[in-house]
Amino acid sequence: MDQNRYRWKDGFPKIGIRPTIDGRRKGVRESLEEQTMNMAKEAAKLLSSELRYPNGEPVECVVADTTIGGVAESAACADKFRRENVSVSITVTPCWCYGTETMDMDPFTPKAVWGFNGTERPGAVYLAAVLAAHAQKGLPAFGIYGTDVQDAGTTEIPQDVKQKLLRFARAGLAAALMRGKSYLSIGSVSMGIAGSIVNDQFFQEYLGMRNEYVDSSEIIRRIEEEIYDKDEYELALQWVKENCKEGADNNPEALQASRGKKDADWETVVKMTMIGRDLMAGNPKLAELGFAEEAQGHNAILAGFQGQRQWTDHFPNGDFMETVLNSSFDWNGRRAPYLMATENDSLNGVVMLFGHLLTNTAQVFADVRTYWSPEAVKRVTGYTLEGRASNGLLHLINSGSAALDGTGEQTRDGQPAMKPYWEITDAEAKACLEATLFRPASVEYFRGGGFSTDYTTKGGMPITMSRLNLVKGLGPALQIAEGYTVELPADIHDALDKRTDPTWPTTWFAPVLTGKGAFKDVYSVMDQWGSNHGSFSYGHIGADLITLASILRIPVAMHNVAEEQIFRPRVWGSFGTESPESADFRACSAFGPLYK
């Protein structure tokens, strides 16, 4: 099965470009037609050249057939956009236009307006007027206005305008890509973790997603009834034998599984991985085998596996399944990750989804396990933390769901990185596997056996950790922490790592400090984190997460993003400009969930 082709067989949402114009004929409109349409074409060219869909193809833009000078042309544009699957709109203009006649009125479409900063015509006046109309009608829109005055005939898009166009488009497409998809729960609540109490109202009203549920016994049924592609299974098992290194068994000798049991566990976890993917996305091969219903899958863009304890007390754990699905490659080659949250923590799964859709890269799920102060490290090891680690570290570690990309064995400009799958080389994929051990699972945690992923992330990667929390009376709130991975000397890493479970993957994380609030020190970041889990994405993408959250009407409770990078709908300023974080909460409360 060509996974990359099959998963996205229904296509992708597109960005619609709406060139609005002064409707007055006999001179005014005619003089502006070329400039206005050129703005639309240049915006489309920029977005298609810079942005990619999850399968690596360039983002498609649809430009209105004509400039829009009044309500009839606005309606014609809306009709075209519906036919063309446009789910994000950007209105562009160099001049005054008739605001309520030319504005985008679709309540579910993320929208932005670019008003040209020029002296010949009042583009800024229209921008202000139409944004006021959006605010008054409860249809928040992003305002884009260049810092510097441009000449009327120029086709160049200023750098600050480019940044806002791209930031809005990335976030708008992320929102559109989620809509209509499913979150699939495999099992239910894991060990009383509240994040795995899946809140269908949140998914429906904030993300526009469905919720799907299967019992864990469905995996057993498919294994026993052989509802999987047997040819692919043989390929996968051989690939695992050749590429996945089994590490040392840390269990007491009396509790260690026999070689026969471990070999059987490998066969089971490979089948689990295939079945988990098929449950999410479907597999046409199953129809050929006589399982047409199973072949359809659950249209899931995101899933969660309960695992502990009902499954893992008897069967091999889900660590291998989660690791491989969340990675950017498997036995079939490189492909987009299949996002699966450990312990069915749907709220951590959501931020994995946010990060993936904004970057097209794999995401790493982890416990936010321990704060190590410089003093504690010195006491335990005699080592003085330095550089980015000098203020202390967060130990991110969890048995499963740690994508192999998180090793840092991929590179960009000679530095460790995590890249979209189409940029990853075969050598880099091989290096990720070489840097990983699959350790026999700790039977204290996983009585049924299985294998836990074990690697240590390379230092020097810029990453963004995030977490979504649900709070009674408030609703969802997002937390964001930008920072860097840190590499410790091997003996220091071992001394700290062996105090917890050394068979699990470790990332040493140093958040960027601002000197105030939750980021006054590293301890405060840990102390203010809203749950036991977090997810991290490659790059400093906090500003993109903030823009996406505002589209979905999710307030951001904690972040260390520079204020000048924050981009939200213009009407957010009406809720206060002195404290943008507080205004964000008020605006999200006033407008309510996007799909309610």
Residues in binding site? 343, 367, 533
To the nearest 5 percent, what fractions of the chain are helix, strand and coil?
40, 20, 40
Angstrom CA distances, 300 to 136, 248, 276, 325, stand at: 36, 35, 11, 13
Active site residues: 343, 367
Euclidean distance between CA atoms 20 and 32, whole angstroms: 10
Euclidean distance between CA atoms 180 and 209, whole angstroms: 5
Q: Which residue has the tokens 């992320």?
A: 174
Q: Binding site membership for Mn(2+): which residues?
A: 343, 367, 533
Per-residue burial over 448-470, b = 16 or more CB atoms within 10 Å of its CB, e = otherwise: bbbbbbbbbbbbebbbbbbbbbb
Q: Which has the closest alpha carbon to 184: 274, 292, 299?
A: 299
Q: What is the CA radius of gyration of the chain?
A: 25
Q: Would you say 528 and 514 are in contact if contact means Cβ atoms under 8 Å apart?
A: no
Which amino acid appears at position 264 of this protein? Answer: A
What would you measure as the largest C-alpha separation in the chain, in angstroms?
92
In sequence order, which ranges of 51-152 are alpha helices (DSSP H)?
Answer: 71-83, 99-102, 123-136
Tokens for 509, please give them.
């994380």
CB atoms near residue 414 (< 10 Å)? 6
- The residues facing 538 across adjacent strands are 463
Q: Which has the closest alpha carbon to 508: 396, 426, 413?
A: 396
Question: Nearest 5°: phi and psi at 340?
Answer: -140, 125
Q: Which has the closest alpha carbon to 361: 27, 3, 23, 52?
A: 52
In sequence order, the 6+-apart residues with CB closer than 8 A to the CB of 182 are 209, 210, 211, 212, 298, 299, 300, 301, 302
Q: Which has the closest alpha carbon to 222: 147, 149, 286, 318?
A: 286
CB atoms near residue 140 (< 10 Å)? 22
SS (H, E, C) 387-425: HHHCCCEEEEECCCCECHHHHCCEEECCEEECCCHHHCC
